[in-house]
Structure 1
Amino acid sequence: MGPLNCTANSLHILLRLLASKGIKNQQLPPMDLPADALFNSRSRVAVSQILNLLDWAQEQLPQQNLALDYGLALALHQETLFNTLAQGCALLREDNLLTRLFGLYQEDDGETCHIELRWRANPTVAEQLPASVLDVLVAWLHATCLPLTATSHSDIQLFLPQGCEQPQRYAAYVPLKIHFNAPYLAIRLPTRLLHNEADPHNLPQLQRELPPRPSMLVASKAANLLRAELPEPPSLEQLSQALSLSERTCKRRLQDSGTHYQKLLSELRLIQARDWLQRRVYNVTQLSAELGYSSVANFSKAFKKWCGYSPSQAHLAKNGSVSGTPAEQNKQLSEVDA
């Protein structure tokens, strides 16, 4: 079996990530790279070289979630790969780098879908699934699938074949229910999610551009931490601590991404509210309490200001009977007392 290669763009993303953490190119260990690898993003680089560099960097920065950051950064640097999870599963059956690393096995009983990824032993990479590859993969998968799954995190389970001494480190990257030391690497989710189409309105309004600003890494992790605790979210101070940032730096990173703490929290709550209303999971009173609003009136006011129609019309909006989408109203979200 020949060596596995990828474009040098994946290397460039890792180098930029390391530079943001204080490791410059001059400090890097020797690497066996093509002559144009550092300036030509289309040059081909051995996957093993990137993984060796990642492992070396993790030794230099033992307290950083470097592999998880790298997986998230890879996702933020890419265009949309598929419009439904079913298309994503089909992509995993085509001939590409991911399918040369993993085999996909899928079971579906009509209600629940179990998607298992099995590591293909490769002497040029590793015989056993490396922990760093697992972290890169799960962070990348979550961020890639987010437009399809953002409002269904409580319905999705992740099974990891390794243990974890600090499971809380996954919270900013994969805010799902995670089962460690599982007999397989798998995702279990409702079958209905397989054919849901990607909806950009399921994501908060951030300044998304390619290549992304470095602050987008922080904003994406902040959104994940808030998404997991919408009824009783962490304060800005607690959020900053979870991200290993000062409160001032956290504020600045969010502002650089086109948002701020209260706006981000309000958007995430309202995105979740719209989904639950459209699927009639809760009525307005139940939903207000479930998402931590101080009153039904405050929730209804915020919801209508955000999307242009009342909560009672949400199920009609799903069918196109009511017009209105989140847009300029987002700038007013911080004024609403949630």
Structure 2
Amino acid sequence: MQNSTSSTSQATVSASLTQAILHAATRLGLDRASLLKHSDLSEEQLLDPDARVPFSSQLQLWQTLSRLPLPEPGLEIGSNLAPGPFSVLGYLLQSSTTLGEALQAALRYQRLVGEGGEVLLRERKDAIELFYRPLHPQLPVTRIRVLSLMACWVQMVDPLLENFRLSKARFVHQQPDDISPYERIFACPLEFGTSEYAILIPRELLDAPLIQANRPLQQVLRQHAEALLARLPSESLSVRVVAILGEQLAHGEPDRSELARALNISERTLQRRLADEGCSYQSLLNDTRRQLAERHLSSGNLPAAEIALLLGYSEPSVFFRAFRQWTGLTPGEYRSQHKAEA
């Protein structure tokens, strides 16, 4: 995206989560001092569990961890993360009365954990789908980072609920040769090469009581979480626009006036504030479409005509022309080239 570098440089993550990632890595035999050095982090930055560190530094840490000689290092790191990495949010989830209440708290306070992506909830007939929209999904390091978070989600909730189970787990990347680590952690049907990272939870579990429910403690933790949330700088307008565009594209051609209304500002104000951030509505729309198109073409088998519809194009030919302008390739050539490189 036009503003991708600035978005990464401004994004921050929880120091306690970064600390926990380091603890997990050392349990897997890596040298902590070396990891800190390669990530441009210091011990002083991690002393306060409520402090923030640059997301870009954590990306460097994930880059180093991706070289672990393991079948799926992200799942190994996630399996070794304790509830502590989420600091106040982790303990708030544990003290919630029901699973549904815990999920609402997770959505409300997720920025306390980090700004490397967004967890969203989608209701289905028989299940609740939690899916993760990572910041800059095209980065190779995204795979290890998101797999770690997904494994940690399951590990945190499983002890809190009797008979906890997943209906399904979905992954953007293609199916690896060895799926036993996935089967061990998620214990449910698995789908690879999809458009999103997601876990599906049976709807009937939403009202199930949590074992460690503690209403008085929950109220105290919620007040602390609200105070921490208020201290975080507001998200940039461009980040919010991209999130809304992602939702609008699923229903056809995006509508700028509707988007402005969703943000409670006028179209003129939308245009001016995006210009102040060094981008425009059209550039964000084009970049969002391009990222989604490349993800669909590289990680799945959907026909290009169906991808065009998913991106809000009324005619496949319009999508084909736009994609050639972006990449110099047709969608078919891009897919063939990506498979050859893989």
TM-score under structure 1 length normalisation: 0.49
Larger helix percent: 2
Query: Larger RCO: Structure 1 or Structure 2 (Cα < 8 Å, ≥ 6 residues apart)?
Result: 2
TM-score under structure 2 length normalisation: 0.48
